[in-house]
């Protein structure tokens, strides 16, 4: 993701900064998705692995990136306490 764009994005809920999810973080998230144990904040069970995501600076929320576009919607966010 473009660093300039990333520097102006923030979490719509907490207003914290966002950074790209690490490879290890994505692997953990995708493992939970594969197990069928991960839901977004709308309660929808996730069934497709993520290829990219943004994480809040406090490491509590993750926002998927779909087709190169960050999905910064509250209901689409994933609470990382689930992992």
Element (H, E) at 1: none
Residue 47: pLDDT band (50, 70, 90) is: very high
Pairing mode, if any, of strands 61-66 and 69-70?
Answer: antiparallel
Mention every residue, 6+ apart, whose C-beta is less than 8 A from residue 79.
41, 60, 61
Of 1, 9, 75, 17, whose CA–CA distance to 41 is shortest? 75
pTM as predicted: 0.93
Which residue has better confidence, 4 or 74? 74
Give the Cβ contact number of residue 76 at 10 Å: 17
């Amino acid at each position: 993701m473009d660093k300039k764009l990333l520097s102006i994005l923030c979490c719509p809920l907490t207003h914290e900064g966002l950074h790209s999810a690490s490879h290890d973080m994505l692997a953990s998230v995708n493992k939970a998705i594969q197990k069928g144990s991960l839901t977004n904040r709308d309660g929808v069970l996730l069934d497709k692995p993520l290829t990219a995501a943004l994480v809040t600076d406090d490491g509590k929320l993750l926002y998927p990136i779909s087709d190169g576009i960050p999905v910064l919607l509250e209901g689409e966010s994933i609470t990382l306490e689930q992992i």
